Amino acid sequence: MPILQYVCRNCGKEFEELVRKHDDPVQCPACGAPAERQWSGTVYSATGKKCGGCTGNCKTCGGCH
């Protein structure tokens, strides 16, 4: 189960959440409003090496090289 970064649409709180799947709906722990996945921060490949120029959004990525 991955730990992902989220930001609240309502109050702007940034937080991390342990989810079963990357597309599970997440609510803000502060106000209970729906939260959006935050596509920022440092991204690492499955080997643990930092990926150059990766946004973390695998849907638009050409893969870690």
Residue-level pLDDT at 16: 92
Of the candidates 16, 55, 14, 15, which has an alpha carbon nearest to the alpha carbon of residue 2? 16
pLDDT band at 26 (very low <50, low <70, confident <90, very high): very high
Residue-level pLDDT at 8: 95
pLDDT band at 3 (very low <50, low <70, confident <90, very high): confident
pTM over 0.85? The answer is no
List strands edge to edge, sheet with 35-37: 14-18, 3-8, 35-37
Mean pLDDT of the chain: 78
> Which residue's structure tokens are 């609240």?
8
